[in-house]
Amino acid sequence: MERDERGQRILEVAGELLLAWGYRRVTIDEIARRAKVGKGTVYLHWKTKDSLLLAVVLNVKWRTQRQHLARMRSDPLEILPSRTMRSYYGDFLKEPVLRAMHTEDVDILGRLSDTAKKEFADLMALSEQVLLRYLDVLRQHGLIRSDLDVPHLQYALLSTTTGFLMSEAMLYDRAPENPKVRGDLLAETLRRMLETPAEDFRAARTETNAAARPLRYSSMEEAAVAAAPEIIALYEQLEESSATEIRRQLRE
């Protein structure tokens, strides 16, 4: 088994055990046994149990970032907050580790949440910068409302999305049974709260009223195509930084 393949197998087993047993019960011995490698082999890849389990968490985030980028590259309208967060909600439902992170499930993550905040401080700061710049670019291209400053837009986006994600655990008995319906509700909430209505673009083509809100583009699609390259570049930077952090967790 090649080194990279062996490391990936260890990572997969560690993730399975983290979800099944929780942080406290997972041991390097059990990871090695299930991965069919020696305990020393695990330590050839990761220095500690924490660094291995942090890599599990970061690997899930990195995989999600790659999926996000693929969607934006295939359809520029995926840069819209409503589309982005509806897709992320779908990723959240499919990734148990992602769900544990957002709900801060201590039974699964144990002290990993606090450790991650320290270990990934630079990456989290970059993520914050990327989100702020993302919203600024959208606003510059007329895709989201301009009457709020960017930090307020960020707060509205994050608080709304977080509320929907947390509701999976807190309001499970009141939520629509179909996950697609729940994702569509999140998208519709963000669309109405943050995004420029499509009809505003259509009106801008014929509107002669000086009081009308000026728009640079004749359609939302045109604006999204113009904004997408800069936004994609932002998230490519974040994806590469995540990959670098994963490599940092490995034993040299």
Q: How confident is the model at residue 213 (pLDDT cuts 50, 70, 90)?
A: low
Tell me: pLDDT of 211 over 50.
Answer: no
**Between 169 and 137, whose confidence is greater?**
137
Of residues 215 and 186, the one with the higher pLDDT is 186
Q: Are 53 and 23 in contact (CB under 8 A)?
A: yes
Q: What is the pLDDT of residue 208?
A: 46
Cβ proximity of 121 and 154 under 8 Å: no
- When pLDDT is cut at 50, 70 and 90, the band that residue 206 belongs to is low
| In the predicted structure, residue 1 carries a pLDDT above the cut 80 | no
Residue 1: count other Cβ atoms within 10 Å of its Cβ: 12
Q: What is the pLDDT of residue 209?
A: 45
Crossing angle of helices 81-94/96-103, nearest 10°?
Answer: 110
pLDDT value of residue 214: 60
> Looking at residue 109, what is its pLDDT?
85
Query: What's the confidence (pLDDT) of residue 252?
Result: 45
Q: What is the mean pLDDT of residues 21-25?
A: 92
- In this prediction, residue 150 has a pLDDT band, given cuts at 50, 70 and 90, of very high
Minimum mean pLDDT among 81-90, 116-125, 213-222, 235-244: which range?
A: 213-222
Share of the chain above pLDDT 90, in %: 63
Say how far apart CA 29 and CA 34 lie, in whole Å: 9
Nearest in space to 1 (alpha carbons), one of 51, 53, 57, 45:
45
pTM: 0.87
Residues 92-131: tens digit of each pLDDT: 999 988 888 887 777 888 888 888 888 889 999 999 999 9
CATH fold of 1-45, please?
A: Arc Repressor Mutant, subunit A (1.10.10)
With cut-offs at 50, 70 and 90, classify the pLDDT of residue 139: very high
Q: State yes or no: pLDDT of 203 exceeds 90.
A: no
Domain boundaries, the chain: 1-45, 60-249
Average pLDDT, the chain: 89
In the structure encoding, which two tokens stand for residue 177, read together?
């049974």
Question: pLDDT tens, 51-94?
Answer: 999 999 999 999 999 999 999 999 999 999 999 999 999 999 99
